[in-house]
A = this chain, B = another copy of it.
Amino acid sequence: MTSARPEYAALNPPARRLFGTGPTTPDPRVLRALGLPVLGQFDPAFTAIMNEVSELCRFVFRTGNARAFPVSGTSRAGLEAGLCSLIEPGDRVVVVVAGRFGELLAEISRRCGAEVVAVDTAWGRVTEPDAVRAALATGRPKVLALVHGDTSTGVLQPLPDLVRLAHDRGAVVLVDAVLTLGGVPVEADGWGLDVCVAGTQKCIGCPSGMAPLTYTAAVEEMIAARRRPVQSSYLDLGQIQAYWGPDRLNHHTLPTSMTYGLREALRLIYEEGLEARWERHRRTGAALHAGIEAMGLRLFGDPAHRLPMLAIVEVPDGVSEPGVRDALLRRHHIEIMAAFGPLRGRAWRIGFMAYNAEVRNVVEFLGAFEDVLTNAGVRVPRGAGPGAAERAGGT
């Protein structure tokens, strides 16, 4: 008898089509960049790359802020870095809660010791300025935190009016643009966003693992003037900016390979141009929404504020939500996603972002979706989805 020692083969992940809400499929050039030779973090060749990443972050955020760099963690780390660097115990923070990721902002803020005032909004709706004005009216709110586009609801929250209300009350605005940056207009300077945080694995088109963010000189001063240190060392923006800035103070060992991937993903956006990229996402979303409705399915959420890169599709009566996802994965190598909270089991979350934001991908997906739904007993008019998508997505 020999002892049972498990064996581990070389990795060989299947080539899925990632049509959920992220991670999305990176451009092959981004995947190639990940494998380039590793450099030491203070090598002049690497600090030059870091400076380029900062410049490219400024480009995608549309900002002249000195501070624009990625945090070395996933988008959730970027959100926490912004919140924990701003909040001191007892600070009043108004959080718009209109989906799963608004709830997350409230949870993180509470863990930072904030007194959270939640502006609860029905899932699928945008938050009305009056509700935010009322929440800001009491106490001395320090921060208004909200999500630009929430993958749990498919809704795009208009920002400029809410930013003005916060600024009128002397509060700074922290925006979660994890989903939206690179897919729809995000104007850090134009809308007066004080802190804006993104992710890499959605419309930026890089694997998950870093969180680009930017903040104003006024926020920088607020952090420097804190009464007590930021509770986190790893996510202390004051320390991270001293590492990304000209002083290059050692903080952590920057993830070299992710930095390469992010630079390449940002460079591809720069080459395409933001306006062209927004238009590509808009056209793909028009195809997706038209195709879904032509199949006789219902889209969740306020149609006037629908995110172009997503479709939150209601599950028809009598159909197994996980069964359809499993069949798409098994038969077509396509991933779509389950929904959160009140929508769990009642909706699928479908998305076409970055490299995947092409009408032809929507057409392909709708054909597979029709196949799987038909097998599940749903009466879907044959070819209606792909046909409507092609017409709506035509240039």
* CB-based contact B43/A329 at 8 Å: yes
Main secondary structure of the interface of A (DSSP, over half): loop
Residue of B nearest to A209 (CB): B255
B residues in contact with A8, CB < 8 Å: 52, 56, 263, 267, 270
B residues in contact with A337, CB < 8 Å: 40, 42
A230 to chain B, nearest CB (A): 7
* CB-based contact B209/A258 at 8 Å: yes
* CB-based contact B37/A14 at 8 Å: yes
Is A31 located at the chain interface by the 8 A CB criterion? yes
Is A182 located at the chain interface by the 8 A CB criterion? no
* CB-based contact B37/A15 at 8 Å: yes
Point out the residue from B14, B107, B329 that lies within 8 Å of A233, measured CB to CB. B107
CB proximity to B under 8 Å, residues A95-154: 104, 107-108, 110-113
What CA separation (Å) do A250 and B84 show in the bound complex? 22
* CB-based contact B235/A232 at 8 Å: yes
* CB-based contact A20/B40 at 8 Å: yes
* CB-based contact B16/A43 at 8 Å: yes
B residues in contact with A37, CB < 8 Å: 13-16, 25, 31
Residue of B nearest to A178 (CB): B253
The digit string for A8-29, where 1 denotes a CB below 8 A from any CB of B, is: 1011111110101011111001
**Known: A35-B34, A270-B8, A335-B43. Is A230-B15 also a contact (CB below 8 A)?**
no
Among A71-79, A216-224, A305-313, A357-365, which stretch is in contact with chain B?
A71-79
A355 to chain B, nearest CB (A): 10
Residue of B nearest to A76 (CB): B252
* CB-based contact A231/B231 at 8 Å: yes
B residues in contact with A39, CB < 8 Å: 13-14, 16, 18
**Residue among A107, A112, A258, A337 with most chain B CB within 10 A:** A258
What CA separation (Å) do A60 and B207 show in the bound complex? 26
Is A32 located at the chain interface by the 8 A CB criterion? yes
Is A229 located at the chain interface by the 8 A CB criterion? yes
B residues in contact with A36, CB < 8 Å: 11-13, 31
B residues in contact with A15, CB < 8 Å: 37
What CA separation (Å) do A24 and B29 show in the bound complex? 24
What CA separation (Å) do A232 and B43 show in the bound complex? 32
**Known: A11-B264, A18-B38. Is A255-B258 also a contact (CB below 8 A)?**
yes
A153 to chain B, nearest CB (A): 16
Is A208 located at the chain interface by the 8 A CB criterion? yes
Is A315 located at the chain interface by the 8 A CB criterion? no
**Known: A80-B234, A270-B8. Is A14-B253 also a contact (CB below 8 A)?**
no
* CB-based contact B45/A13 at 8 Å: yes
Point out the residue from B41, B49, B209 that lies within 8 Å of A72, measured CB to CB. B209
* CB-based contact B35/A35 at 8 Å: yes
* CB-based contact B207/A255 at 8 Å: yes
Q: List 11 A-B contacts (CB under 8 A).
A: A13-B38, A13-B45, A76-B233, A111-B233, A199-B253, A201-B253, A207-B255, A209-B258, A231-B231, A232-B232, A232-B235
Given A32-B35, A76-B253, A110-B229, 9 other A-B residues pairs in contact with their CB atoms under 8 A: A12-B36, A13-B49, A16-B40, A31-B257, A38-B207, A73-B252, A77-B252, A209-B209, A231-B232
